[in-house]
């Protein structure tokens, strides 16, 4: 089965400056934080497409808070069945294919908004998927 990304889009972005709140930030919150999750969704009306929806929240102390929802749509060459839904393709491979587009978006937005560009780290999607299965 062939898998192809056909579209990606930021559906929500919130950016908040923390530059004016420096005196309100305690020394305990001086570390950068990132919370990333993703969900794989299969539309009922099309058996050859699915999407990955990323939710990201990050904080760079004394700089910014950013939250975003980013969706990537994929098309398959064959009809999607339950075996495919449980396989690595929609749960590991597709998020790994889409993630660089999210990384680029976040870096570009922060740079163009006048901040130090945020460079998201590499992600181990195998580990994330395993962690999701145990919860």
pLDDT of residue 14: 97
- What pTM value is reported for the model? 0.88
pLDDT along the chain (135 residues), means of 10: 93 91 52 93 95 96 94 96 94 96 97 93 92 81
Distances (CA, A) of 2 to 61, 75, 80, 89, 94: 42, 8, 11, 10, 12
Q: What is the pLDDT of residue 23?
A: 52
Rg, the chain, Cα only: 17
Extended strands (E) in 42-122:
49-60, 64-76
Q: What is the pLDDT of residue 27?
A: 45
How much of the chain is in helix, strand and coil states, percent to nearest 5? Answer: 35, 35, 30
Neighbours of 124 (CB within 10 A): 12
| DSSP letter assigned to residue 19 | G
φ, ψ at 81 (rounded to 5°): -120, 180
**Domain extents in the chain:** 3-21+30-134
Give CA–CA dist 11/59, Å, rounded.
20
**Domain 3-21+30-134: which CATH number of 3.40.50.2000, 3.90.100.10, 2.60.40.1150, 3.10.420.10:** 3.10.420.10
Strand-strand pairing, 33-41 and 49-60: antiparallel
* Residue 31: both structure tokens together: 């570390």
């Amino acid at each position: 089965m062939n898998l192809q990304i056909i579209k990606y889009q930021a559906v929500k972005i919130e950016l908040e400056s923390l530059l004016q709140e420096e005196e309100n930030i305690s020394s305990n919150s001086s570390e950068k934080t990132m919370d990333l999750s993703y969900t794989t969704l299969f539309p009922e009306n099309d058996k050859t497409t699915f999407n990955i929806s990323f939710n990201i929240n990050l904080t760079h102390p004394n700089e910014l808070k950013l939250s975003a929802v980013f969706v990537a749509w994929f098309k398959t060459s064959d009809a999607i069945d339950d075996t495919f839904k449980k396989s690595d393709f929609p749960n590991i491979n597709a998020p790994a294919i889409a993630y660089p587009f999210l990384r680029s978006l976040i870096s570009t937005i922060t740079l163009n908004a006048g901040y130090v560009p945020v460079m998201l780290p590499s992600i181990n999607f195998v580990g994330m998927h395993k962690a999701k299965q145990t919860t």
